[in-house]
Amino acid sequence: NAGVTQTPKFQVLKTGQSMTLQCAQDMNHEYMSWYRQDPGMGLRLIHYSVGAGITDQGEVPNGYNVSRSTTEDFPLRLLSAAPSQTSVYFCASTKRGPPNSPLHFGNGTRLTVT
Amino acid sequence: GQQVMQIPQYQHVQEGEDFTTYCNSSTTLSNIQWYKQRPGGHPVFLIQLVKSGEVKKQKRLTFQFGEAKKNSSLHITATQTTDVGTYFCAGGRGNQFYFGTGTSLTVIP
């Protein structure tokens, strides 16, 4: 039982490049989400999904796309990377979604955009 | 903008001293959760409070949820070096969790 698996752990991009951050969970959780963590800003929600085929925007969705074709996977796509997207990205899942289920976090992806 | 504020942002304590972090929301929350993130790690769930005025304890940690369900606190008695990390509150409302800005705790041996 791996929990929430994120890849890659580290990534360096040049401005304008695109990439996909992978997230997979094996706990049969319906709810999955992406957060970015910046110093002094806490964790800010980018996008979330309450089930396969359903996605919605969080607090800071601009510049990011998501899809949820299966229950297990929830990739985050950066369309055209910008230095402002330098951050640590966490994927998190929970069985039934807010507000009553605790979030299980992946180990994070540290992204640098130059 | 940020809907859940947390203070202080940083706290340095001598080992054995107490520590408290406070969480305040501009709106009523369905519940409040607390997470701990060790340096270089990911947030790990500690506890959830649901009822107005609820108080829960985990060994040296005491968690409170305000009567109006807009604020919460985490108190650690007699800190140890293993308590080092950043503590986040997260308020639930609708389909989203709103995380506080976190309090980074340093414990000086």
pLDDT band at A3 (very low <50, low <70, confident <90, very high): very high
Q: Nearest to residue A36, comparing CAs of A73, A100, A82?
A: A82
The percentage of residues in chain A with a pLDDT greater than 70, rounded to a whole number, is: 99
Question: Across chain A, what does the average pLDDT equal?
Answer: 95
pLDDT band at B33 (very low <50, low <70, confident <90, very high): very high
Predicted local confidence at residue A42, as pLDDT: 87
Beta-carbon separation of A50 and B95 below 8 A: yes
Question: Across chain B, what does the average pLDDT equal?
Answer: 94
DSSP class of A99: T
- Amino acid (one-letter) located at B107: V
The percentage of residues in chain A with a pLDDT greater than 90, rounded to a whole number, is: 89
Which residue do the tokens 């985050």 mark? A76
Beta-carbon separation of A98 and B50 below 8 A: no
Distance from CA of A18 to the nearest CA of B (A): 25
Q: Say whether the peptide bond before residue A102 is cis (omega within 30 degrees of 0).
A: no
Residue-wise pLDDT for A64-114, tens only, equals 999 999 999 999 999 999 999 999 999 999 998 777 789 999 999 999 999
